[in-house]
């Protein structure tokens, strides 16, 4: 076989592998997964509570499979719902989302918004996410009806944690919350929620869409027991032995999803540290509907008692 033949076969083989990988990535983006983690946050002797962490649905009205899957989440009967934003990907998604959440809206809940609650997604090269962040944000895009979504959540009883505090009592356990608006858009105003976390409650939780270090550092320093975030999509495209290629923020790639500590080297009980849960989210930008080695997810976080 001549050189030309070898090159042709190499190119054909590469195209075949690339096509197969793309097909798998499109399939995996529809493999919605329920994750389970357990965090010891409750007072000693307290029975467990379950918090459902929703993030990055990026919903459009035509995503029938995702809508049906979300509708079944109410069957889990969680005690608390934490929504960390990027719910929308289309101007007509609000009533569809509220209908899909269904009975979950009757559960005590808190929420913050992300950039894709405020602005419509656009077509961008996926390679852009692998480059250093220039700080450019596409704020000239059509706005999404985030105000209607906010009204729907608040009318259902969920608490809006946009640069403010919240409080809930669930099954005899008291929670104090602090939240910020989307750090990816620099909408967060930490001055409004800075200061020591309350000591007159059982659990202190901080909530943000994007886990930027300035936000994590502040909440950990202030004494919050755990920080709940999304935004990263878990890297969305991961490689075996490497993991996430990017987090789309300044969080390290090793903590692109799942339960960790912040700072990363800290241990439970260390002053100025907290648990950190980052959701890989349930959706994608509709223009890049792929995932690789990083299935779309919702997490059921079981809060257990701390050791006596």
**pLDDT tens by residue, 256-296:** 999 999 999 999 999 999 999 999 999 999 999 999 999 99
Give the whole-number percent of the chain exceeding pLDDT 70.
91
Residue 3 has pLDDT above 90, yes or no: no
> Dihedrals φ, ψ of 186, to 5°?
60, 30
Residue 2: pLDDT band with limits 50, 70, 90: low
User: In order of start, what are the domains of the chain with their CATH numbers?
Assistant: 31-305 (3.60.21)
What gap in Å lies between CA 165 and CA 46, rounded to an integer? 24
Q: What would the mean pLDDT of 219-235 be, rounded to a whole number?
A: 98
Structure confidence at residue 28 (pLDDT) = 97
Could you report the per-residue pLDDT of 237-258, keeping only the tens digit for each?
A: 999 889 999 999 999 999 999 9
Residue 219 has pLDDT above 90, yes or no: yes
Residue 135: pLDDT band with limits 50, 70, 90: confident
From the number of C-beta atoms within 10 Å of its C-beta (0-12, 13-18, 19+), residue 144 rates as: buried
* β-pairing verdict for 33-42 and 297-305: parallel
Q: Report the range of poorest mean pLDDT among 14-18, 137-141, 249-253, 290-294.
A: 14-18
> In this structure, what token pair is assigned to residue 292?
């690789």
Residue 222 has pLDDT above 80, yes or no: yes
Structure confidence at residue 129 (pLDDT) = 65
Residue 184 has pLDDT above 90, yes or no: yes
Q: Are 51 and 112 in contact (CB under 8 A)?
A: no
> Dihedrals φ, ψ of 237, to 5°?
-120, 115
Whole-angstrom CA distances from 236 to 243, 246, 271, 289, 306 are 10, 8, 33, 10, 33
Residue 10 has pLDDT above 60, yes or no: no
Structure confidence at residue 7 (pLDDT) = 52
Residue 16 has pLDDT above 80, yes or no: no
Q: Are 182 and 114 in contact (CB under 8 A)?
A: yes
Q: What would the mean pLDDT of 205-217 be, rounded to a whole number?
A: 98
Residue 102 has pLDDT above 70, yes or no: yes
Chain mean pLDDT for the chain: 93
The 3-state DSSP class for residue 184 equals helix
Residue 139 has pLDDT above 60, yes or no: yes
Residue 127 has pLDDT above 60, yes or no: no
- Nearest to residue 204, comparing CAs of 234, 174, 233, 169? 174
What gap in Å lies between CA 80 and CA 224, rounded to an integer? 18
The 3-state DSSP class for residue 12 equals helix
In the chain, which ranges are continuous DSSP H helix? Answer: 3-28, 64-71, 93-101, 115-118, 146-156, 213-221
Structure confidence at residue 122 (pLDDT) = 84
What gap in Å lies between CA 200 and CA 125, rounded to an integer? 48
Q: Are 230 and 270 in contact (CB under 8 A)?
A: no
Q: What would the mean pLDDT of 180-190 be, rounded to a whole number?
A: 98
Residue 21: pLDDT band with limits 50, 70, 90: confident
* ω into 263 cis (within 30 of 0): yes
Whole-angstrom CA distances from 242 to 182, 238, 245 are 28, 7, 8
Q: What would the mean pLDDT of 154-173 be, rounded to a whole number?
A: 98
């Amino acid at each position: 076989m001549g050189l030309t033949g070898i090159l042709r076969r190499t190119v054909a083989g590469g195209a075949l592998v690339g096509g197969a990988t793309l097909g798998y990535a499109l399939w995996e983006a529809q493999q919605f997964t329920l994750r389970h983690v357990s965090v010891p946050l409750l007072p000693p002797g307290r029975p467990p509570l379950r918090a459902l962490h929703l993030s990055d649905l990026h919903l459009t009205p035509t995503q029938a499979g995702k809508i049906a899957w979300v509708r079944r989440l109410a069957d889990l009967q969680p005690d608390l719902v934490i929504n960390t934003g990027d719910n929308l990907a289309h101007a007509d998604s609000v009533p569809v989302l509220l209908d899909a959440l269904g009975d979950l809206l009757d559960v005590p809940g808190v929420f913050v918004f992300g950039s894709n609650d405020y602005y419509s997604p656009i077509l961008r090269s996926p390679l852009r996410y692998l480059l250093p962040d220039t700080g450019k944000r596409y704020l000239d895009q059509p706005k999404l009806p985030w105000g209607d979504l906010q009204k729907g959540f608040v009318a259902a009883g969920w608490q809006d944690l946009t640069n403010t505090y919240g409080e809930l009592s669930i099954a005899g356990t008291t929670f104090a919350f602090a939240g910020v608006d989307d750090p990816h858009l620099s909408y967060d105003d930490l001055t409004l929620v800075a200061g020591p976390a309350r000591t007159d409650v059982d659990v202190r939780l901080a909530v943000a869409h994007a886990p930027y270090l300035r936000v994590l550092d502040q909440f950990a320093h202030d004494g919050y027991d755990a920080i709940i975030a999304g935004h990263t999509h878990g890297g969305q495209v991961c490689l075996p032995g490497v993991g996430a290629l990017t987090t789309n923020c300044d969080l390290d790639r090793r903590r692109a999803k799942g339960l960790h500590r912040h700072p990363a080297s800290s241990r439970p009980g260390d002053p100025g540290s907290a648990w950190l849960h980052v959701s890989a989210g349930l959706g994608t930008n509709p223009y890049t509907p792929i995932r690789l080695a990083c299935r779309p997810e919702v997490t059921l976080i079981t809060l257990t008692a701390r050791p006596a």
